[in-house]
Amino acid sequence: MTSERGDADQPFEPIAGMTVYWIVLKTRGPAWAPGESPELERLQAAHLAHLDEMRDQGLALVSGPLLDGGFIRGVSILRVATRAEAEAICEADPSVQAGRLSYEVHPWMVHKGILEPE
């Protein structure tokens, strides 16, 4: 699931002194089920490997789970130019492909240098 706002093919132009990142809210997907199993452990390992790869490529600044057990399961901050790029990263996540997780993507404008040195 993605946000329907904005143009997926156009980068956002930040105002002077600002930059745009993409916040991803990972939510419970249609195949979400609580509990543990060997299959869920394999899926979680693949999910974490995907996040590590995105971080290694410089596309994800930070990713992590929320600990309150709610509908939103985790948050990532991506460094990409367009919604389409952010959504492609999310769609490549094995947990999204399996339906265990879904996601929302939101553009986020912050002061330059807050998250990473200029």
The pLDDT tens digits for 48-89 are 999 999 999 999 999 999 999 999 999 999 999 999 999 999
Instruction: Select 20-111's CATH number: 3.50.50.60, 3.30.9.10, 3.20.20.105, 3.30.70.1060.
Output: 3.30.70.1060
Q: Which residue has the higher pLDDT, 87 or 11?
A: 87
Q: Which residue has the higher pLDDT, 99 or 16?
A: 99
Give first-to-last CA distance, the chain, whole Å. Answer: 33
In angstroms, rounded to a whole number, what is the distance separating the alpha carbons of residues 106 and 98?
22
Structure confidence at residue 7 (pLDDT): 52
Q: Which residue has the higher pLDDT, 115 or 65?
A: 65
Report yes or no on whether pTM surpasses 0.95.
no
pLDDT band (50, 70, 90) for residue 3? very low
